[in-house]
């Protein structure tokens, strides 16, 4: 059996002691949905280390003056952020794998005006024989002739 911070290990009395709370407080938080311990076949609560850390966070927020509804909302938002961060990491890994498998393939080119030109696989960017003169002072040359080949 593989164990991590989500493995349900602690009975309610042990979890309450680790969190510095009374077991009845843990039951109330379970009813309110602030913490959701795993249930055994006999319907007893089993808390993980992650649950204990969350209970400590609830205690800290409560001591700072937040009510239980505010604490519930904060925990909900933190959970959403964690899920989104995991999703971003997964997408970044997928993108990195994709880029490694298809290295050297161009997907876009820059146009003369700095615009982005999408390219299909195997398509090359069209080359233009144009010269761009950088002129920071607004000076206009006396004659503007096209260069001939």
Per-residue pLDDT tens over the stretch 37-51? 999 999 999 999 999
Among 39-48, 81-90, 105-114, which is the least confidently predicted range? 105-114
Query: Burial code of 17-41, b = ≥16 C-beta within 10 A, e = fewer?
Result: ebbebebebbeebbeeebbebeeee
Q: Where are the domains of the chain?
A: 1-65, 77-121
Residue carrying the six token digits 């002691």? 17
**pLDDT tops 60 at residue 143:** no
Question: Model pTM?
Answer: 0.61
Provide the angle, in degrees to the nearest 10, between the axes of the packed helices 49-63 and 68-101. 130
Angle at 88 between CA 82 and CA 89, to 5 degrees: 90
Arch. (CATH architecture) of 1-65: Orthogonal Bundle (1.10)
Whole-angstrom distance, CA of residue 81 vs CA of residue 6: 18
């Amino acid at each position: 059996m593989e164990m991590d911070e989500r493995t349900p290990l602690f009975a309610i009395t042990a979890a309450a002691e680790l969190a510095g709370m009374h077991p009845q407080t843990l039951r109330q938080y379970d009813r309110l949905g602030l913490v959701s311990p795993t249930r055994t076949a006999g319907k007893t609560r089993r808390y993980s280390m992650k649950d204990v850390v969350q209970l400590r966070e609830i205690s800290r927020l409560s001591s700072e003056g937040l009510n239980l509804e505010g604490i519930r909302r904060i925990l909900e938002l933190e959970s959403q952020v964690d899920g989104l961060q995991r999703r971003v990491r997964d997408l970044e890994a997928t993108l990195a794998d994709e880029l490694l498998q298809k290295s050297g393939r161009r997907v876009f080119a820059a146009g003369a005006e700095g615009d982005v030109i999408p390219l299909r696989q195997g398509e090359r960017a069209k080359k233009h024989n144009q010269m761009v003169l950088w002129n920071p002072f607004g000076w206009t040359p006396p004659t503007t002739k096209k260069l001939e080949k």
